[in-house]
Structure 1
Amino acid sequence: MSRDASITIPWGDGDFKFRLGWGELEELQEKTDAGPYVVLQRLHAGTWRVQDISNVIRMGLIGGGMAPDQAVKKVRYYVEQRPPMENVPHAIAVLSAGLMGAPDESLGKPRAPKRKTGKRSTTSRTGKSDLAPSTGPAQP
């Protein structure tokens, strides 16, 4: 998920970007005759309508950048010809991202990875040396 309300998830025949911006949420509201949060509650509670599922996914694909005619084809094939429960988790993920964004993103500077020093400990937990004893003269 990202702060622009988009989410990329595996669905159908690949990984797709879904986004429900303000315009898509307004159209979803018109198509489902319910506010977006009501639709989300219905999806969670199991009181959804089949149009809730198909419209969330279709509008999410369009908002994610897919052409409307392609989004309709994908929904007809991967939603309307499949058991509804198969797509409920996807619809929940898409609508949740559209309504809440992604609070887990870091807003600060990325942390630099810890550098390895390349030094090796010469003693183990038992206090004995990890290095094999030298059997010959020291090499310069």
Structure 2
Amino acid sequence: MKKLTYLPAQPIGDGVYRMELGEMEIFELETGRVPGGGPRQLGATPRPIHIILSSLMSGRIEDGEGGTVGNPFASIASEFDIRNVVRLGLIGGGMDKDDAREIVKKFGPPNRPLSELHDIAAALVYAHIVGVDDDA
């Protein structure tokens, strides 16, 4: 079975979007800088994508059906990382950067629980590093 390194149809709020972390999105996640230069984003902590995955997966437990569910009380992922992964995944999937920022704002706190974005961020980085079944 073929493994995908992106999420082809990820539900977020009232829509379904393609999400992918490409080379430029990984660069921004790992360095906190937009490709091409400029200062580091406020709140960004430079670190490898594997450490970001580790923080996103902390506190997750098996759901008994082959997936995981997050325990927000045991996670060490920052809200900045969660929002940033989702935003960059939308951009990597082909969305305009301003539209991606609005989606994350609209469907994250204070409008929706952070755990919803956390689940998406964890799935996206997991897909990038480990891959997901193409029929999942």
Output the TM-score relative to the length of structure 1.
0.66
Matches within 5 A, 1:1-140: 5-7=5-7, 8-31=9-32, 32=44, 33-45=46-58, 46-81=75-110, 82-102=112-132, 104-105=133-134
What are structure 1's unaligned runs of at least 5 residues? 107-140
1:18/1:105 CA distance change after superposition, 3 Å: closer
Cα offset for 1:3? 5.3
Report the Cα distance in structure 2 between the residues aligned to 1:42 and 1:68, rounded to whole angstroms: 25
Aligned residues: 104
Letter in 2 for 1:5: T
Cα offset for 1:4? 6.0
Q: Secondary structure at the match of 1:87?
A: helix
Residues 111-131 of structure 1: CA deviation (Å, up to 9, x unaligned)? xxxxxxxxxxxxxxxxxxxxx
Letter in 1 for 2:126: S
Q: Secondary structure at the match of 1:15?
A: strand
Report the Cα distance in structure 2 between the residues aligned to 1:21 and 1:58, rounded to whole angstroms: 12
Residue pair 2:10, 2:16 contacting (<8 A) in 1 also: yes
Output the TM-score relative to the length of structure 2.
0.68
The structure whose residues are more often strand, as a share, is 2
Residues 54-83 of structure 1: CA deviation (Å, up to 9, x unaligned)? 000000000000000100111111124332
When structure 1 is superposed on structure 2, of 64-73 and 35-44 the one drifting more is 35-44
Cα offset for 1:28? 1.0
Q: Which has the higher contact order (CA 8 A, sep 6+)?
A: 2
Residue pair 1:20, 1:60 contacting (<8 A) in 2 also: yes
1:3/1:78 CA distance change after superposition, 3 Å: same
**Larger Rg computed on CA atoms:** 1
Report the Cα distance in structure 1 between the residues aligned to 2:134 and 2:17, rounded to whole angstroms: 20
